[in-house]
Amino acid sequence: MQYDELGEKPDDNTQFLESAPAAPEPWIWQQFVEATNTGFAVCDESLRYVKVNDALARMNGIAAEDHLGKTIYDVLGEAADECVTAFQQVFATGHSLSNCNLVVKLPSRSTSGRWLANYFPIRDEEGQVRRVGVVVVELPVLSPPFTGPQENSVSPHHLKALAEFTTDITTETREEDLFIATSGILGKTLQPDFAAIALYDESIGQMRVYALDFEVSRLLGADLRVPVTDEACGTAYLGAETVIYSRSQLLASRSDCLLRLAEAGTESLCCLPLVNAKGTVGTLNLAWKQDRVLTEDLPFLNLLASRIALSLHNVHASREIKRLSRKLRIMALGGESELAGENFGEIIGESRALRKVLTQVETVAPSDATVLILGETGTGKELVARAIHRLSSRRDGKFVKLNCAAIPTGLIESELFGHEKGAFTGAVQQKIGRLEVADGGTLFLDEIGEIPLEVQPKLLRVLEDQEFERLGSTRTIKVNIRVLAATNRDLAQCVSSREFRSDLYYRLYVFPVRVPPLRERENDIDLLVRYFVQKFARSMHKKITGISAETMTALNSWHWPGNVRELENFIERSVILSEGLTLSAPLGELDASLLSLSSSLRNNVTLENIEREHILRVLREADGVIAGVRGAAARLGMKRTTLQSRMQKLGITREEYQN
């Protein structure tokens, strides 16, 4: 059996329609054309539909078969004017367009609708853009704030602010921007001393509390997690009803959050549920230091909460459409040029383990926090660092890399800090160090575990004070840099053995990100194989359209001790050896020397090692949580104390399983 150019056999029950007979379509399209709430279409250079799924047909109000062969003008009418520019730009530049907002009235509808669209190029075998694909999600329309009877109880000033707020959040596609807009309207209207939005996070089974920019909010900290059963916001969330607390109720509460609010001087607290098409997603929480008759504010607060909930739905839809569009481009073997606009560069994959890392990247990137990237060799730690830089406010600054293991011990200080002329034998002229070069940007210290002990105090000073002196100089130089570091070593163990300073370790360990090895990234090997095949085939001017089932099975079976780097090198070698249209991979290398090494390793595995790896895997799946109904102990069927005892005996450290 032969795989098609995407590595899978097409299914005869595909649900998309074609305008003309063609070669068997890639199996991967089915994952999108069968989606019930995601529209998908492909148009040719004449802007005629050549593929369309049922979801898009329902949105347009025209049967799927009636789209084929027609132009977007035939189907969308005047609304096509809002789309044609996007199509033309993708055809002309070969780059994707993301998060395009469309508010138009379709011929088949009596009222305007709102959509979010992502456009991406589809290239032919010669690399030319001959078709453009579009992924569309229909969004709820944020209605004007004058639609319900409760507006009669809202002041004109508040209604005006609500109208401006509705306009501001219509185009927002990030939660952070929504939080900023919410802070703005609250500051103009109710002026609370505390404001926060709590959203239920299914991955941890808790409420994540995002404090808004108000006095008491800042005192309580930025990253709060509250059990969903906690009285603070859990009551409003679980009951989907507004809850109001007086000071006496706050003081009588057993909730740590409510008691902290009371200690901060809170007299009145209001928690409102945020309800959208997905149900209750969180709560809006406001507090004041004065006794306030909150029932008078409820009509306005209910309107505000409803718009926040709708905007959250749109934000999540935007995130989903971006993920689907990215996956389509990767699976379509579009090559590097189509990935050039992606936030994560060449980080390829859709596994749960990798998505968790990318979520962490998006979370930490906007800050200037130091990030320690952990992971085995070949997992792509530098790509993660570049993604953080690309998503940060320093994206226009330089990304400077220093591999601490590649520079002789005697020269690393000079490379990092620079030196003056005559500072040491051979210093015939002044040298600017990497710290100065990276000023205003990001410094990436790869293999940070190899940095000499005598240099570590100077690096610590840079992290804490953003200043240093060149070798041979007494002049202090101030810099504005963000430091990202990476290592495949166990730094905690290095601290214990006095090979690494504890103060530097804790300063680097502000926000650790663990990059998973390839063996933990289920289903990502298929994506990576197809991507690398296309990448190297293009660079070598070869045409490879098929991958045999035997090859794909063998590649998925191997555990890749060298991770993505090993896989990439193996595919490059395979493309070099391939002479026809089908990838010719030297599977004998896996079956002979590599598999014999694997067998040798397996023969040396002890029961204790197997138990250790199993516990680590469960701990990672539980996000490092040990106790509780969703904790690792419950998943392993043992008591919390028993698990902690086993972890101690097996030498499992927190750094190994908690990101």
Q: Compute the chain's Rg from CA coordinates.
A: 28
The enclosing domain of 211 has a CATH number of: 3.30.450.40
Residue 592 sits in the same domain as residue 643: no
Taking the C-alpha atoms of residue 220 and residue 357, their distance in angstroms, rounded to an integer, is 27
Whether 117 is covered by a domain: the verdict is yes
Taking the C-alpha atoms of residue 428 and residue 420, their distance in angstroms, rounded to an integer, is 9
At residue 29, what is the residue type?
Answer: W
Residue 365 sits in the same domain as residue 493: yes
Residue 373 sits in the same domain as residue 483: yes
Residue 302 sits in the same domain as residue 170: yes
- pLDDT, one tens digit per residue, over 502-515 is 999 999 999 999 99
Whether 557 is covered by a domain: the verdict is yes
Q: What is the pLDDT of residue 173?
A: 65
Nearest to 515, CA basis, from 462, 590, 446 = 446
At residue 541, what is the residue type?
Answer: H
Query: Strands 129-139 and 113-123, how do they pair?
Result: antiparallel
Whether 492 is covered by a domain: the verdict is yes
DSSP state of 334: -
Contact yes or no for 415/402 (Cβ under 8 A): yes
Q: What is the pLDDT of residue 345?
A: 59
Q: What is the pLDDT of residue 9?
A: 36
Contact yes or no for 250/269 (Cβ under 8 A): yes
Residue 324 sits in the same domain as residue 445: no
The two structure tokens encoding residue 359? 């979520």
Whether 9 is covered by a domain: the verdict is no
pTM of the model: 0.48
From 580, 602, 624, the end of a domain falls on: 602
The enclosing domain of 546 has a CATH number of: 1.10.8.60
From 602, 620, 638, the end of a domain falls on: 602
Q: What is the pLDDT of residue 218?
A: 58
Q: What is the pLDDT of residue 21?
A: 34
Residue 616 sits in the same domain as residue 597: no
From 331, 362, 393, the end of a domain falls on: 331
Q: What is the pLDDT of residue 435?
A: 92
Whether 242 is covered by a domain: the verdict is yes
Range of the domain at 637: 607-657
Taking the C-alpha atoms of residue 485 and residue 445, their distance in angstroms, rounded to an integer, is 5
For 473, residues 6+ apart whose C-beta sits below 8 A from its C-beta are 419, 420, 423
E runs forming strands in 140-249 = 194-201, 206-211, 223-227, 243-246
Residue 74 sits in the same domain as residue 169: no
In three-state secondary structure terms, 478 is: strand
Nearest to 349, CA basis, from 374, 375, 330 = 330
Helical ranges in 332-423 per DSSP H: 336-339, 352-364, 381-391, 409-417
Whether 589 is covered by a domain: the verdict is yes
Whether 566 is covered by a domain: the verdict is yes
Q: What is the pLDDT of residue 490?
A: 87
Whether 5 is covered by a domain: the verdict is no
Number of domains the chain is built from: 5
- pLDDT, one tens digit per residue, over 557-603 is 888 888 999 899 999 999 999 888 889 888 877 755 444 444 444 44
Q: How many CB atoms lie within 10 A of CB 108?
A: 12
Residue 158 sits in the same domain as residue 264: yes
Residue 137 sits in the same domain as residue 121: yes
Residue 365 sits in the same domain as residue 476: yes
Residue 552 sits in the same domain as residue 485: no
109: left (phi over 0), alpha (psi -120 to 50) or beta: beta
For 411, residues 6+ apart whose C-beta sits below 8 A from its C-beta are none
Q: What is the pLDDT of residue 322?
A: 66
The enclosing domain of 417 has a CATH number of: 3.40.50.300
Nearest to 142, CA basis, from 316, 317, 318, 311 = 311
List, for the chain, all residue ranges whose pLDDT scores fall below the cut of 70.
1-37, 140-152, 170-173, 203, 215-223, 322-345, 591-609, 629, 655, 658-659
Residue 33 sits in the same domain as residue 46: yes
Contact yes or no for 17/52 (Cβ under 8 A): yes
Mean of all residue pLDDT scores within the chain = 80
